[in-house]
């Protein structure tokens, strides 16, 4: 699991990602970067049971926004390289 302190930035826009996160406890704010035709950024609250950055598991992925912990939080992090190894080994055993 990944522990994140309140106020800590987990990732920022345009950073490469190789991790999908499942929120186990706490709360995050995800600020999706402003689109060219929009005046303001779009903000989402991320709660326990939610997940974020799943495209990192199957493609090269750069974050489109910023993830900020609102309180001390814990995430279960799935690393793309380990995920791929498990999937491939599962396929080979069939």
Per-residue pLDDT, averaged over 50-57, amounts to 94
| Cβ atoms of 62 and 15 closer than 8 Å | yes
Per-residue pLDDT, averaged over 44-55, amounts to 96
| Cβ atoms of 69 and 28 closer than 8 Å | yes
Per-residue pLDDT, averaged over 26-47, amounts to 85
pTM of the predicted structure, to 2 decimals: 0.82
State the pLDDT confidence band at 21, using cuts at 50, 70 and 90: very high
- CB neighbours of 53 closer than 8 A, spacing ≥ 6? 11, 17, 19, 20, 21, 61, 63
| Residue that the structure tokens 């309180």 belong to | 71
- Mean confidence (pLDDT) of the chain: 90
pLDDT of 94 higher than 70: no
Closest by Cα among 52, 51, 79 to 63: 52
Helix (H, G, I), strand (E, B) or coil at 90: helix
């Amino acid at each position: 699991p990944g522990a994140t302190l309140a106020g800590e930035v987990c990732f920022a826009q345009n950073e490469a990602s190789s991790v999908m996160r499942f929120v186990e406890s706490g709360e995050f704010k995800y600020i999706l970067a402003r689109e060219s035709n929009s005046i303001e950024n779009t903000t989402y609250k991320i709660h326990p049971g939610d997940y974020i950055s799943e495209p990192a598991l199957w493609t090269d992925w750069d974050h489109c926004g910023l993830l900020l912990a609102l309180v001390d939080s814990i995430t279960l992090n799935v690393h793309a390289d380990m995920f791929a190894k498990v999937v491939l080994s599962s396929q080979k055993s069939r």
